[in-house]
Amino acid sequence: MDKVETTSSPIIDKQAVTKKKTATFIADLKALTKVGIVNSNLITTFAGFWLAVYFTNASFIANWDIFLLTMAGTALVVSGGCIMNNWYDADIDPVMSRTKKRPTVTGSISLNRALAMGVFSTSLGLVLLMLTTLEAALIAFAGWFTYVVLYTMWSKRKYTLNTAIGSFSGAVPPVIGWAAVDPGLHITAFILFLIMFIWQTPHFLALAMKKTEEYKAASIPMLPAVHGFEITKRQIVVYIACLLPLPFFMASLGTTFIIIATLLNVGWLALGMSGFFTKNDLKWANRIFIYSLNYLTILFLMMVLVTLELPFS
């Protein structure tokens, strides 16, 4: 009896190849847009939006369309900035272990395509934010310009102050969220900016300590790579200490918030000062880095929780 030929195997193989290509593209897109950074920025954007609604006695439900535009626009602008960062740093990323597998390094996404994606994502994001308020779009552009031009293209490879310059861009998302509701802003919006601006330096300096040898190899003048760990540890402690008074400028959020925020600040400062007595600087830096992540999550979650009486009608 003759064998019956079947085409099921080629079809299955073709489907498998398609699925693999799709999965690879999604993974490359996540790496290119730095999805972790985008998500963290959206958390602070949401907090800024939420608090603006609260302080202006507005309705969250009545502003749901503005909320979606704000979150989508911010995500696209941040993604655009991250893509541009990957595009520009394609020459030094191969040197560092945490960046050497980026699609702009492996070639899975060409530099020309990455550039086009970065420009498109940024432009679309700014258009969406302009549908909320002009101020929100302008603030977002200022953050993007600082990150792409002043940080990535100018200061990152020249000055140890690159961390402080880059911190401006990471501090604007909560202000974007606020400005989308209240273009006139409020002192709380500026305190949110200061919290994010100050928080980033100890966070990223701790990371730089962990990756010092890689930064040296890539000729990136991060503070620990240029001036050593002792000066870096002093800078980390100084910046953490600058956070101490800020919760008191947000007294309208209530005593519970002030107490928890102060405890978080004091705990972080104590951990920072322990670095002067440690024998393992890298282990200490890792603790500072992990604490900073938990600090930010808890602090901004508390801002939302203590204002849950926000009217939804």
Q: What is the mean pLDDT of residues 16-36?
A: 82
Q: What is the dihedral of CA 74, 78, 80, 84, to 10 degrees?
A: 160
pTM equals 0.90
Sign of the torsion formed by the C-alpha atoms of 110, 112, 116 and 118: positive
In angstroms, what is the C-alpha Rg of the chain? 22
Q: Residue 19: what pLDDT?
A: 75
Q: What is the mean pLDDT of the chain?
A: 92
Q: How far apart are CA 177 and CA 132, in angstroms?
A: 10
Residue 18 has pLDDT above 80, yes or no: no
Q: How far apart are CA 295 and CA 300, in angstroms?
A: 9
Does an H or E element contain 32, and which? helix 8-33
Asked if CATH classification 1.20.120 holds for the domain at 27-305, the reply, yes or no, is no
Q: How far apart are CA 28 and CA 302, in angstroms?
A: 34
Higher pLDDT, 231 or 18: 231
The token pair at 271 is 């951990």
pLDDT digits (tens, 9 = 90+) for 128-144: 999 999 999 999 999 99
Residue 2 has pLDDT above 60, yes or no: no
**In the chain, where the domains are located:** 27-305
pLDDT digits (tens, 9 = 90+) for 179-202: 999 998 899 999 999 999 999 999
Residue 69 has pLDDT above 50, yes or no: yes
Residue 313 has pLDDT above 50, yes or no: no
Which of these ranges, 29-38, 270-279, 298-307, has the smallest mean pLDDT?
A: 29-38
